[in-house]
């Protein structure tokens, strides 16, 4: 979902890196089964929602930041004791720790994300659950199995759900590949279970589906901190090997469906295996990672009130960071290059602009360190340096590339044009691109396409998109 997902920019640069993902690890319990806590960092609302997992009966939590359009940011470590709460999200690199007041209606503590800022959360009335009418309801007309498998050296275990149509014939199969951030197998975003809805529709129409927890999520293990899209492509190849040996699945008709960053990972995997028969890219990336970053960052800063001149100044800073990211491999070398380069850039800016950009004032140094740590992380460096040309120009298997015209995260026109250009260079005569009017990054019918809409829209994925994907797969597999 969400590749390089950018939230609304305010004065603090920590907002730049709110990404969707991660899962909850519960260490202790001690609250009612469902509570909501709300506070403010300046003008920015921070909401912590704690609930009980219906399957494991353990406490889980998410952060919301409505003023940034960020919802459902899952907590990776949740510790609740009789006198305190600690909730940390690995994806945003921060969280909250605080102590209860005597009545246990208030938590006083700090928000820690690069810098530490005082934050008090007060218990508020729980809001009604959002309606998600497309979530599948049992019984299902297909076989559903919870599976685990390992990579070749057994260093990673994968947890997944496999759905297979009830038939005596061997059927085509797909692996679903999530977008950026650590996602569960359903690609749960703002209460929407995009991959569950997609898998249900496909398997009802004769196509087997493997949907897999990302590294560090659910039943999947594996190193995450230094992992990149290239590593995730290896995870997909392991899934291919697993599917090839499953009863009822045709090993010559296994394809990939990648959403957002998954649209980068799918062709990376396809270039390494002859066992991949086709690709569906849902809001995949057909332009360079640098172009994508600039597009997203300019959109975010513009919505925060930055004028054309100020946008140009931010472009200059990010261009400097791109150059450093590309030139140096070692983090120590990057640090030695970045600090003086930043100072040179800052000396060319006005004091008011630096404050507006969050690069001057209290805790500015901490915010800059957080910015640099995120931007120069292995995952981000791989993405911003991603070039689709040498990847897509080698893909000759059938490809269906889809985008929503209201997608503000992976813009439809330039990215679909990229797919057309490079697949044509590959000599691929079996590809199709479609831009869906009125649909956003999640392929929901939307008004503005803004991220803040995702949680308010009841539709998880357009029925038209479900049908287009299914019909295309059935057609190329002569079903």
| pLDDT computed for residue 394 by the predictor | 98
Q: Is the pLDDT of residue 24 over 90?
A: no
| pLDDT value of residue 181 | 82
5 assigned to some structural domain: no
Question: How long is the chain?
Answer: 479
**Over 90: is that where the pLDDT of 457 sits?**
yes
Instruction: Give the rounded percent of residues in the chain with a pLDDT score beyond 90.
Output: 61
Q: Smallest Cα–Cα separation from 215: which of 197, 234, 200?
A: 234
Region of poorest pLDDT, from 23-37, 211-225, 332-346, 391-405: 23-37
215 shares a domain with 99: no
In the predicted structure, residue 202 carries a pLDDT above the cut 90? yes
* First CA to last CA distance, the chain: 30
Residue pLDDT, tens place only, 84-101? 899 998 767 789 999 999
Mean pLDDT score, 473-479: 95
Residues 319 and 426 in one domain: no
For residues 47 and 181, the model is more confident at: 47
> 321 and 234 in one domain?
no
420 token code pair = 């057309």
Say if residue 54's pLDDT is above 80: no
Task: Give residue 51's domain range.
Answer: 13-124
Residues 150-166: pLDDT tens digits?
999 999 999 999 999 99
Q: Collect all residues with Cβ–Cβ distance below 8 Å to 434 and sequence separation of at least 6.
A: 400, 401, 402, 403, 468
**DSSP state letter for 210:** E
Q: What is the CA radius of gyration of the chain?
A: 22
The last residue of one of the domains, among 384, 409, 439, is 384
Report whether 431 contacts 393 (CB < 8 A): no
Separation in Å, CA 121 to CA 26, 35, 128: 20, 12, 20
The domain boundary, picked from 98, 124, 150, lies at 124
Q: Which residue has the tokens 């202790």?
A: 28
pLDDT the model gives residue 69: 57
180/264 same-domain check: yes
- In 10 A of CB 478, how many CB atoms? 7
Mean of the per-residue pLDDT values of the chain: 87
Instruction: Report the C-alpha gap between 402 and 423 in whole angstroms.
Output: 14
Please check whether residue 102 lies inside any domain of the structure.
Answer: yes
- Is residue 193's pLDDT more than 70? yes
Same domain (yes/no): 203, 253: yes
Cβ-based neighbours of 351, under 8 Å, separated by 6 or more? 360
Final residue belonging to a domain, choices 359, 384, 409: 384
pLDDT digits (tens, 9 = 90+) for 391-414: 999 999 999 999 999 999 999 999
Percentage of the chain exceeding pLDDT 70 = 90
Overall average pLDDT of the 251-263 stretch = 97
- Provide the CATH number for the domain around residue 400: 3.40.50.1820
Q: Is residue 132 part of a domain?
A: no
Residues 273 and 406 in one domain: yes
Q: Does 106 reside within a domain?
A: yes
Indicate if 318 and 332 belong to the same structural domain: yes
| CATH code, 35 | 2.40.160
Q: Does residue 7 form part of some domain?
A: no
**Residues 359 and 397 placed together within one structural domain of the fold:** no
Q: Which of 295, 294, 279 is nearest to 423 (CA)?
A: 279
| Phi, psi for residue 194 in degrees, rounded to 5 | -55, -45
Over 90: is that where the pLDDT of 359 sits? no
Give the pLDDT confidence score for residue 331 in this predicted structure.
84
pTM of the model: 0.80
Are both 293 and 263 inside the same structural domain? Answer: no
Asked if the structure places residue 2 within a domain, the reply is no
85 is a domain residue = yes
Do residue 364 and residue 458 come from a single domain? no
Is there a domain that residue 1 lies in?
no
Band (pLDDT 50/70/90 cuts) for residue 428 is: very high
Task: Give 198: exposed, middle or buried? Use CB within 10 Å, 0-12, 13-18, 19+.
Answer: buried
Q: How many domains does the chain have?
A: 3
Tell me the pLDDT band of 8, cut-offs 50, 70 and 90.
Answer: very low
Examine the domain organization and report whether 377 and 397 are in the same domain: no
Give phi and psi for 208, each to the nearest 5.
-75, 150
Please give the pLDDT value at position 178: 96
Q: Are residues 180 and 216 in the same domain?
A: yes
């Amino acid at each position: 979902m969400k590749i390089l997902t950018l939230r609304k920019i305010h004065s603090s640069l920590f907002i730049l890196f709110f990404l969707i993902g991660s899962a909850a690890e519960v260490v202790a319990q001690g609250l009612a089964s469902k509570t909501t806590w709300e506070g403010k960092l300046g003008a920015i609302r921070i909401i912590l929602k704690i609930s009980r997992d219906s399957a494991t009966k353990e406490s889980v939590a998410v952060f919301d930041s409505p003023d940034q359009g960020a919802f459902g940011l899952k907590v990776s470590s949740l510790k609740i004791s009789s006198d305190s709460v600690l909730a940390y999200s690995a994806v945003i690199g921060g969280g909250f720790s605080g102590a209860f007041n005597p009545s246990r209606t208030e938590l006083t503590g700090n928000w820690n994300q690069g810098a530490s800022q005082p934050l008090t959360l007060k218990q508020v009335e729980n809001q009604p659950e959002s309606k998600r009418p497309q979530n599948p309801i049992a019984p299902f007309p297909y076989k559903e199995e919870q599976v685990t498998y390992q990579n070749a050296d057994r260093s990673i275990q994968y947890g997944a759900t496999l759905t297979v149509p009830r038939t005596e014939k061997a059927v085509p199969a797909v692996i679903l590949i999530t977008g950026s951030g650590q996602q569960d197998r359903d690609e749960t975003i703002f209460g929407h279970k995009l991959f569950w809805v997609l898998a249900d529709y496909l398997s009802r129409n004769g196509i087997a589906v493997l949907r897999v927890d990302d590294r560090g999520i659910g039943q999947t293990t594996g190193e995450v901190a230094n992992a990149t899209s290239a590593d995730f492509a290896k995870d997909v190849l392991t899934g291919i090997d697993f599917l090839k040996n499953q009863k009822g699945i045709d090993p010559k008709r296994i394809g990939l469906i990648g959403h957002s960053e998954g649209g980068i990972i799918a062709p990376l995997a396809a270039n390494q295996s002859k066992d991949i028969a086709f690709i569906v890219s849902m809001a995949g990336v057909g332009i360079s990672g640098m172009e994508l970053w600039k597009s997203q960052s300019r959109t975010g800063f513009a919505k925060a009130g930055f004028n054309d001149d100020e946008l140009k100044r931010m472009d200059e800073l990010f261009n400097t960071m791109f150059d450093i990211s590309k030139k140096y491999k070692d983090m120590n070398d990057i640090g030695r290059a970045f600090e003086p380069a930043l100072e040179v850039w800052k000396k060319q800016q006005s004091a008011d602009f630096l404050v507006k950009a969050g690069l001057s004032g209290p805790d500015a140094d901490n915010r800059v360190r957080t910015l640099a740590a995120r931007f120069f992380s292995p995952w981000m460096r791989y993405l911003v340096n991603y070039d689709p040309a040498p990847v897509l120009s080698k893909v000759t298997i059938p490809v269906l590339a889809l985008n929503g015209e209201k997608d503000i995260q992976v813009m439809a026109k330039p990215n679909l044009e990229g797919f057309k250009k490079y697949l044509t260079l590959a000599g691929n005569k079996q590809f199709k691109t479609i831009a869906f009017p009125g649909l956003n990054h999640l392929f929901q019918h939307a008004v503005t396409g803004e991220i803040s809409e995702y949680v308010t829209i009841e539709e998880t994925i357009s029925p038209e998109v479900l049908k287009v994907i299914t019909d295309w797969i059935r057609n190329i597999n002569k079903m």
